[in-house]
Amino acid sequence: MNKSRAFTLIELLVVIAIIAILAAILFPVFAQAKAAAKKAASLSNVKQLDLAMIMYQGDSDDTFVLPVNWSNSGAQIFLNGTGYQPWSAIVQPYVKNTPIMRDPQAPANLTAASGFPPTITDILAPQYGYNQTYLAPFNSTTLLFAPQSATSVARPAETVLLSQKFSTSEVNPTSTSAWYCGSWFGPGSYCSDTVVDPPDCGSNNTTCFDGWGQNAFWGGGSTDYLLKNTAAGAYTGGNSLRQAGLMVTAYVDGHATSKAPGAMAVGTNYNPNIASTSLVITDPTRYLWKGDQ
């Protein structure tokens, strides 16, 4: 009759050591695979939103979408009795999907204290931002946004339309610059941010804050909007840098990619240490944010 033999202490320690070694080898691989999957999902999201904007252009006299439309017609959100529709709401008929506004690489948004359901929260705080400064600039004379014609963009494959942006959970709740928000949804809630800043804000633009470089509106001092959070975009105009310091972006022609800040600021004198107020366009033919040059 055979008797079963228990493992010796040495054998158990060897097995445990082997398992530990395998875990040390495999866990980083799993983490890298997960990060790669999130990046792919983020690229897919921003590309689909880009295509939705292109479809919107086809129904809107070939113009880019408004950054925000104050209209009761078709509005899901009302502030003081007036309909509030950011671009993320305007393109909903073309995507029929609010979770697509969430960047899988970003931390979750805060839950709205005003009691809005998650679908409305996604619309109020999309985690992809619009290049409104150049594609739908604000006219300080008429006090209206002026969406440009898509055909006026000379280099559609080289002009940014959308980019990853910060989450509301990354915003400094005590910032004295909270007035920047498109709209504020009550104490303990958050503001509705739906745009990102280009490297150079241009002239006569009241909706862009020279956010690339040091001492920027977003992360440069006592009014820090993003608390010096580089990943959230504190020094890159709210354009977030999630994986390996790269920025996921989509372009006017419909393609999407990811690039480092220096590559996204090509055509300017940008470097990580430059003062935000000193950043200027040096080569308009290479600049990726204003495509009519």
DSSP 80-99: TTEEEEEHHHHTHHHH--SG
Cα dihedral value 271, 274, 280, 285, nearest 10: 0
Amino acid at 81: G
Cα–Cα distance, 105 to 127 (Å, whole number) = 10
The SS3 assignment for 103 reads coil
One digit per residue, pLDDT tens: the chain, 293 residues? Answer: 556 666 787 878 888 888 888 888 877 766 777 778 888 999 999 999 999 999 999 999 999 999 888 888 877 777 667 788 889 999 999 999 899 999 999 998 876 545 667 778 888 889 999 999 999 988 777 778 889 999 999 999 999 999 999 988 888 777 654 444 544 444 444 456 788 999 998 765 667 777 898 877 666 555 677 888 899 999 999 999 998 899 999 999 999 999 999 999 999 999 989 988 889 999 999 999 997 76
**Alpha helices, DSSP H, located in 163-252:** none
Residue 256, burial from CB neighbour count under 10 angstroms (0-12, 13-18, 19+):
buried
Largest Cα separation within the chain, whole Å, is: 99
Q: How far apart are CA 98 and CA 118, in angstroms?
A: 9
Q: Which pLDDT value is given to residue 282?
A: 94
